Structure 1
Amino acid sequence: MLRSLVALHCRLGQTVAFSQRHLIQRQQSLVSDLQKARCYGMATTERKKFYEDVSISQGEGGLYEINLDRRKLKTPKGKLFTVPNEALAIAVATEWDAQKDTLKFYTMHMTTLCNTALDNPTQRDKDQIITAALKYLETDTICYRVDEPPGLVELQQVEWDPVMDWIEKRYNVVIGSSSSIMGPQIPEKTKETFRQHLNSYNFWALTGLEYVITQLKSVILTFGMIDRYLTVEQAVLLSRLEEEYQIQHWGNVEWAHDYDMYELRARTAAGTLFVHLASESSTVKRKLLQD
């Protein structure tokens, strides 16, 4: 009996430590999520479909517009919905065309990201977005390691170490990892290197980058996807490594776990695609919504 109680105590301790390591990460994204939710309440609602046809057109300054029948799409703040290139316009138009009798705004991630870039609900500039994104480096998911149980220690080493090695070599930086709740001490030189790299992206792409970082709670995994070192599926699984380990040992509510997994994949994939399309300067020469 005593051994069973000791084992249970250790397991509970591991679960508490797991929760503590993720508490800081969740707090970081909470304020940002709430601010955006106030401006984009539509993202969690549904509405009856009010149009038949979706098309794109090129307007002033070479910007692309989305047309719902003969109406021009606008942002939640009433601005004309315009995107910088044809590829991004096609992606947004495809979301609107895919809607059935009811508009499910919470599935329209590309549209929401464009609205965020256009309306800029938090009124931030590039430097502020970069600073907010880099805060996640200090609490990056794969920087936090455990001392026990041995199975999870080994799993983190096998799955996370190659990604850490890759990014340190790719950007010539030092990051490291730690089993302390405070995480590793990230060198200022490393932060400056990543700041300069992020600054090379335009405002739209940074909007997408920050979105992906908040989904994965990881700058490292986000860079891994953007640089095509990791697939979306790999990055999502690596971001949930500890949680998946706990589920395997303690069980889970199957439908809820599956829903969370697929939803995170959808958001992460949309954000990653948005970054690439927002960085695209050339237009895509193809017919929209071919029969």
Structure 2
Amino acid sequence: MLRCFSRFYRAASSTGLRAYTPAVERKKFYQNVSISQGEGGFEINLDRKKLKTPQGKLFTVPSEPLAIAVATEWDSQRDSIKSYTMHLTTLCNTALDNPTQRNKEQFIRAALKFLDTDTVCYRVEEPPGLVELQTNEWDPVINWAEKRYDVSIGSSTSIMGPHIPAETKEAFMKHLASYNMWALLGLEYIIVQLKSMVLTMGLVDRYLTVERAVLLSRLEEEYQIQRWGKVEWAHDYDLQELRSRTAAGTLFVHFCSESSTVKHKLLQN
């Protein structure tokens, strides 16, 4: 069962929320990874020990698919445990411990703030090639979002950015309120990676793929790379890092938004 999830994990295995999970390594201390269902949800077992959060809480997740994804992260560790590669584990730890002690309304308002500085709404006036690229690539996404949520977003070349109507913010606020706290954490995580609420909603709504959303978020950088070339390892590494974080956040949102189970609760090597 763990192996069947590996293709999703490979897209979501890289640097996580380092502010909460330090980029350290420690020797692997377990052989088998399994999941079990408890009163509060699904638990992760490392051999016979139950996984705990950094604050010592029982590591319990709300859905079995999410438990399988987290178990895959732990099962994929080799001689040492590289916590900075475990995005989903980090997101779950953050949701369970809530180190910043935020409530649902605060999560929603934090996400909405990005709408005022959304990447796809800020346009350049030159060079002509980049202007055309932004129009051709970003306008369809904005048009989709305006129709999907029945709002007005627009774009601007002003340093102040576009004027987002109060009605648009209200509509997005109501939509975000339909998500639970865990999913909102995942949405905020994606928004931070893409620097765009519009791209995030397109991704979560399956209008965009992870690869497409990441490309659109890096449009200006990709334009410069095409003109001036790239530093092979640096640009490629940054791209893969962004894809992995975005993929992990997207999986997290979906797994926290859907109530579903799968067969074979015990997952062992």
TM (norm. structure 1) is 0.84
Matches within 5 A, 1:175-254: 175-254=153-232
Computing the radius of gyration from Cα coordinates, the structure with the larger value is 1
**Which residue, 121, 130, 144 being the options, matches 1:166?**
144
Deviation at 1:289, TM superposition (A): 3.9
Query: What secondary structure does 2:108 align onto?
Result: helix
SS at match of 1:56: strand
Shift in Å at residue 88 of structure 1? 0.9
8 Å CA contact retained: 1:94, 1:289: no
SS at match of 1:58: strand
Please name the residue that 1:50 is paired with. 29
Which structure's residues are more often helix, by fraction?
1
CA drift at 1:40 = 2.7
Structure 1: which 5+ residue stretches go unaligned? 1-35
Q: What is the CA-CA distance between 1:281 and the residue it aligns to?
A: 1.2
SS of residue paired to 1:283: coil
Read off the aligned partner of 1:145 and give its amino acid letter: R
1:16-31 matches, within 5 Å, as none
Q: 1:45 deviation in Å?
A: 1.3
Structure 2 CA distance for aligned equivalents of residues 136 and 72 of structure 1? 37
Instruction: Quote the residue 1:40 is aligned against.
Output: 21
**Alignment counterpart, residue 144 of structure 1, candidates 122, 131, 134:** 122
TM superposition shift of 1:254: 1.2
TM-score in terms of structure 2 length: 0.91
- Contact 1:46–1:103 under 8 Å retained in 2: yes
Shift of the alpha carbon at 1:252? 2.4
- For 1:67-106, list aligned pairs within 5 A: 67-106=45-84
Q: Which has the higher contact order (CA 8 A, sep 6+)?
A: 2
Distance 1:255 1:198, change over 3 A: same
Cα deviation, 1:104-126, whole Å, max 9, x if unaligned, reads 11111110000010000111001
Amino acid at match of 2:140: P
Give the Cα–Cα distance (whole angstroms) in 2 for the partners of residues 135 and 284 of structure 1.
37
Q: State the percentage of identical aligned residues.
A: 75
Residues paired across the two proteins, number: 253
Structure 2 unmatched runs, 5+: 1-16
